[in-house]
Amino acid sequence: MMSSVATPAAAVTTPPARTDYPHFLAIPTRWMDNDVYGHVNNVVYYSYFDTVINEHLIREGGLDIHHGGVVGYCVESQCRYLAPLAFPETIEAGLRVAHLGNSSVRYEIALFRQGEDAPAALGSFVHVFVSREEIKPTPIPPAIRACLERLRR
């Protein structure tokens, strides 16, 4: 008797379009990003997610990563790989906010080959903002909250 295996819902959904992301950052791949199979290693995708998020928080939200009273801790991340990327491509990382809470935010990221409309990878990333001194959740500061509001979709 053959058993049937259900197809995961994530596998049958249509990927979001480039226009669904309000912020983009061009990220050049590096030679060291490739693995022995000739494509960007899976763990490097997470560094691309971290880069597009923190670049936006620093430039647009005034996040002071060295001396600020608030820091963002990643408490959850995931990636869905749709197509391989490789050095020497330039990746265009799209960023949007899916949920904005009192002390946390859930980002959604898409990695696109430069100029392409279909994403090569989709990710999510959750930050909890904490007091640097107490290491306890704290409300998102107003300037950071304002820059995150602009990314909501």
Is the residue at 5 inside a domain? no
CATH number at residue 101: 3.10.129.10
Measuring CA to CA, how many Å separate 115 from each of 82, 123, 135?
Answer: 16, 19, 41
Is the residue at 6 inside a domain? no
- In the predicted model, is pLDDT for residue 138 greater than 60? yes
Burial label for 121, CB within 10 Å (0-12, 13-18, 19+), is buried
Q: How far is CA 64 from the centre of its chain?
A: 19
Is the residue at 15 inside a domain? no
Is the residue at 143 inside a domain? yes
Measuring CA to CA, how many Å separate 12 from each of 6, 51, 52, 117, 142?
Answer: 11, 28, 27, 18, 38
Is the residue at 31 inside a domain? yes
Q: How confident is the model over 39-97, as pLDDT tens digits?
A: 999 999 999 999 999 999 999 999 999 999 999 999 999 999 999 999 999 999 999 99
Q: How far apart are CA 44 and CA 132, in angstroms?
A: 27
Is the residue at 52 inside a domain? yes
Measuring CA to CA, how many Å separate 130 from each of 53, 70, 116, 124?
Answer: 16, 6, 37, 19
- Tell which wins on pLDDT, 151 or 7: 151
Tell me what the pLDDT averaged over the chain comes to: 92
Residue 11 identity: A
Query: What's the number of domains the chain is made of?
Result: 1
Domain housing 125: 20-149
Is the residue at 9 inside a domain? no
Q: How confident is the model over 19-35, as pLDDT tens digits?
A: 999 999 999 999 999 99
With a threshold of 0.95, does the pTM exceed it? no
Is the residue at 130 inside a domain? yes
